[in-house]
Structure 1
Amino acid sequence: MMQSRRIDPLLRRAQEHEDSVARDLAERQRSLALQESRLEELRGYAAEYANSQMAATSPAQLANRRAFLDRIDQALAQQLQNVDRSRSSVDIERDRLLLASRDKQVLEQLAASYRAQERQVVERRDQREMDDLGARRVRQAATAAAQESEEA
C-alpha cells in the first residue's frame, strides 16, 4: 500500500485540529475585544463622574460620592483582571495554533516526500517497461531480418 495514502487521514485530522484551534483563537480574540471595550467604557464613565462638578452639600452626600467612586474603582480593577485573563487566553490559543500549524506542516512535508518517492517508483517502472518494449522490438526486428536473410 502507498505510504502517502496512509498519511492522508492523519493530514485531514491535523487540518481539522488546526481549523478548530483557529476558531477557538478567533473566539478568544472576540472576547478580548469585548472585555477591552467594557474597560474603556468604565474608564470613560469613571473619568466623567470624577470630573463632574457635583456639589456635595452634606457629609452624607460626600460619603455617598466617595463610596460610589470606590465601587467604580473596584469595577475598573475587576475589568482590568478580566482583560488580562482574556489576553492570556488569546496568547495561549495563539501558541496552540502555531503548534497545530507546525504539526500539519510536518505531515504535509512527509506526504509530499512520500508522493515524490512514489512518483519516482512509477517513473522507473514505466521506464523499465519502455526499455523492455524497445528491446523486444529490436529482438523482433533482428529475428525478422534474420528470417528474411535465410529465405533469400
Structure 2
Amino acid sequence: MMQSRRFDPLLRRAQEKEDAVARDLAERQRTLDTQESRLEELRKYAEEYAQSQMAATSPAQLANRRAFLDRLDSAVKQQAQTVDRSRASVGIERDRLLLAGRDKKVLEQLAASYRVQEAQVVERRIQREMDDVGARRSRLAATAAAAEEAGETS
C-alpha cells in the first residue's frame, strides 16, 4: 500500500487553506491601504482647514470654526485607530499565512519521505527478483553442464 498517497488529500487541503489565508491577507491589505488613504486625506484636509485664514466676523463664527476643527481632529484620531486595527489584522493574517505554509511544507516533506521509502522498497524487490533470476540461470546452467558431462561419460 502506498503510504504517500494518503497524504494527497491532506496536501490538497493544506494548499486550499494556504490559498484561502492568502486571499484573506490580500483583502485585509486592501482594506488597510484604503484606511490609510482615508487617514491621509483627513489629515491633509484638517491641516488645510486649520491653516486657512478665514475672517471670523463674530464670536459665533469663531466657536463654529473651533467646533469643526475639534470634530476634524476627532475624526482623524478615530481613523488612526481604524488604521491601527487594520494593521494588526494584516499582521495576524500574515502570521496565519506563515503557519499555513509551514504546515503544508511539513506534510510535503513527510509525503516525500514516504515516497523515498516506497521507492527503496520497490528497488530492493526488483533487485531480489533480478538476483533470483540470476540464481535460477546459474542453477540451470550448472544443471545443463552436469547433464552434458553425464552424457559425455556414458
TM over 0.5, yes or no? yes
- Report the Cα distance in structure 1 between the residues aligned to 2:137 and 2:22, rounded to whole angstroms: 60
Deviations 1:33-80 (A, max 9, x none): 110011001111111111111111111110111111011011101100
Partner secondary structure for residue 49 of structure 1: helix
Deviations 1:103-135 (A, max 9, x none): 111111110111011001000000000101111
Aligned to 2:82: 82
Q: How does 1:3-152 map to 2 (within 5 A)?
A: 3-152=3-152
**Runs of 4+ off more than 4 Å:** none
- Report the Cα distance in structure 2 between the residues aligned to 1:131 and 1:55, rounded to whole angstroms: 104
Q: Which amino acid aligns with 1:45?
A: Y
- Report the Cα distance in structure 2 between the residues aligned to 1:37 and 1:138, rounded to whole angstroms: 84
Q: Which amino acid aligns with 2:46?
A: A
Is there any run of 5+ residues in structure 1 with no aligned partner, and where?
none
Per-residue deviation, 1:98: 1.1
Q: Which amino acid aligns with 1:82?
A: T
Paired residues in the alignment total 152
Task: Tell me the TM-score normalised to structure 2 length.
Answer: 0.96
CA RMSD of aligned residues (A): 0.8
Is there any run of 5+ residues in structure 2 with no aligned partner, and where?
none
Q: Which amino acid aligns with 2:38?
A: R
